[in-house]
Amino acid sequence: MALLGVSTVIALGLSIYCWDFYILLGWLAILGLTLILFGVLALFNVAMFAPIFWLVGRLSNRRARK
């Protein structure tokens, strides 16, 4: 989290120093796309592994009753 904050401050400072708003805008676009990518990958992770964990839970629950 600190790296994200420091990088944002650096992008803001560089944007002000160079009088170019697109440096900050590009950095924010990269952050936004990264968050979207992580969200999609998290949904893919849930879609792939949730049925496996559900099945393992049912199988272990049946064994515990015996």
Q: For the segment 5-26, what is each residue's pLDDT rounded down to a tens digit?
A: 999 999 999 999 999 999 999 9
Q: What is the mean pLDDT of residues 1-6?
A: 92
pLDDT surpasses 80 at 63? no
Q: Are 7 and 26 in contact (CB under 8 A)?
A: no
The token pair at 28 is 């924010």
Q: What is the mean pLDDT of residues 50-57?
A: 86
pTM of the model as a whole: 0.71
pLDDT surpasses 80 at 66? no
Got the DSSP string for 33-60? Answer: HHHHHHHHHHHHHHHHHHHHHHHHHHHH
pLDDT surpasses 70 at 65? no
Instruction: Show me where the domains of the chain are located.
Output: 2-65
Owner of token pair 């792939």: 48
